[in-house]
Amino acid sequence: MASCYCNPFPSSSHLISTDFFRQFKTPKLLYMDKRRFDGSPRSSKVTSFYGLKTPPYKLDALEPYMSKKTIDMHWGEHHRNFIEGLNKQLEKDDILYGYTLDELVKVTYNNGNPLPEFNNAAEVWNHDFFWESMQPGGGEMPKLGLLQQIEKDFGSFTDFREKFIETALTLFGSGWVWLVLKREERRLAILKTSNAICPVVWDDIPIINLDLWEHAYYLDYKNDRAKYVNVFMDHLVSWDAAMGRLARAEAFVNLGEPKIPVA
């Protein structure tokens, strides 16, 4: 759950003006608060933080395709480190408190000139999305309207699968590969991003993602990225989650036919 640290008297700022940040503030956030009072309004302080979100399945539920050992290390250590790093950065300055994680990623991206907090914020977002892009018994083929949309935008599911794998294997260094919905073009597309970059900073709507940092697969697959990517597509990817995400995206993007069913 996102939470915030709030001081009504900010003492520092970034290169961007405070007015720029205010446009992203929303009143709908849920916080975990600890309040400290000494009788003075100036000493009223709210401390809050972003928490480590648990994957939507048991940590051994993706075996043998992704081992519990990998998830213990990847989620329990790497993902946790991004959370803790972000919270430590936010302790130093109150101007970034009060955002949802989506908003925090966008505002710290700063139109392509990332603030120091961006990498941790985006990696937290990316990892939360990644765990929910998989499911026990995943893989195979999508169904119904999602399959039709993929066929409409890529020609066939086979063509989509080949392009997704090729994109993953041609990413230089570490990063992510994504299936996204392009708002303006009103179509699905495959993207690759380096390091922590997340497509929400370009106003794309992510549908699924795959972590291509080595810590995601080296315990199970050594340096064999191709095997890891193929196993993801055949046994791990959650087309159920993808269908739900695309159905929600239709509230913002009119795809015409086919209509993606919510259930």
182 lies in a domain?
yes
Contact 123, 89 (CB under 8 A): no
Structure tokens at 72: 């213990």
Answer yes or no: is 73 within a domain. yes
Answer whether residue 8 is part of any domain: no
Does residue 12 belong to any structural domain of this protein?
no
DSSP string over 187-231: EEEEEEEETT--GGGGT-EEEEEEE-SGGGTHHHHTT-HHHHHHH
How much is the pLDDT for 26?
A: 35
Which pLDDT belongs to residue 97?
80
What pLDDT, on the 0 to 100 scale, is given for residue 96?
Answer: 87
What are the structure tokens assigned to 146, written together? 């999602």
Residue 228 lies in a domain: yes
Report yes or no on 142 lying in a domain: yes
Residue 84, H or E segment: helix 80-91
Residue 161's domain comprises 68-255
pLDDT tens for the chain, 263 residues long, are 444 433 333 333 333 333 444 444 433 333 333 332 233 343 344 445 799 999 999 999 999 999 999 999 999 999 999 999 999 999 887 788 888 999 999 999 999 999 999 999 999 999 999 999 999 999 989 998 899 999 999 999 999 999 999 999 999 999 999 999 999 999 999 999 999 999 999 999 999 999 999 999 999 999 999 999 999 999 999 999 999 999 999 888 888 766 665 54
Number of domains in the chain: 1
Q: Does residue 97 lie within any of the structural domains?
A: yes
Instruction: Identify whether 53 is part of a domain.
Output: no
pLDDT of residue 7: 36
Residue 66 per-residue DSSP state: S
Three-state SS for 224-263 is CHHHHHHHHHHHHECHHHHHHHHHHHCCCCCCCCCCCCCC
Find the CATH number of the domain harbouring 193: 3.55.40.20
User: Quick one: pLDDT at residue 245?
Assistant: 96
What pLDDT is stored for residue 248 in this prediction? 92
